Copies of this chain bind each other. A is one copy, B any other.
């Protein structure tokens, strides 16, 4: 177990977690690095390296205990602690995310949604009533939000992020097509759907240039 986890390993954690959960639901007690590698499209060697970095709990001759490893990774990712989310921007994507329920284990709970369009304010989206973006400051002074989901136009994303950072928000899940610049304290993950589709376009244009092995990532 190392106290620093390299980014490539960090990015594989959610995938490991997904496969381990699946194995757990199937009642498997142990899984070998070879079996896990096969599922995940990696090499057994890489799985063992990763598990070691994470603090390997493997049993020689049997493999890794599914439940323990799963919980260990969940702990590392911090999804055992519940987090509150506020969604800023009730466009199509924002509305869809209110309803989106695949978020594992109630780790993430939407507590408020905002928009600046007067036509939307006061309407109901799922279980939420859309609040005025003008009320964000007073809302955050009364109640903390761990994560801000930014589903608003590119032009307003940076300014909104800075405002929210100033009010104590430290997690930013950004769907606007810009890269946010925030102080080191903030954690940011960008979901650039348009760029994702462009990547697909590239792969369709060059079907030869990326091996089957890479399909998994």
Contacts and interface: CB of A to CB of B under 8 A. Distances in A.
Nearest to A208: B184
Contacts of A191: 191, 193, 196
B92 A18 contact: no
Interface residues of A, number: 74
Interface string A178-194: 01111011111111111
Nearest to A205: B78
22 contacts: A5-B209, A13-B198, A13-B199, A14-B194, A14-B198, A18-B177, A18-B195, A83-B201, A91-B99, A92-B100, A102-B177, A102-B193, A102-B194, A103-B197, A147-B204, A184-B211, A185-B207, A187-B200, A187-B203, A187-B207, A189-B197, A189-B200
Interface of A: 4-5, 7, 10-11, 13-15, 17-18, 40-41, 76-79, 83, 91-93, 95-100, 102-104, 107-108, 146-147, 170-173, 177, 179-182, 184-207, 209-212, 214-217
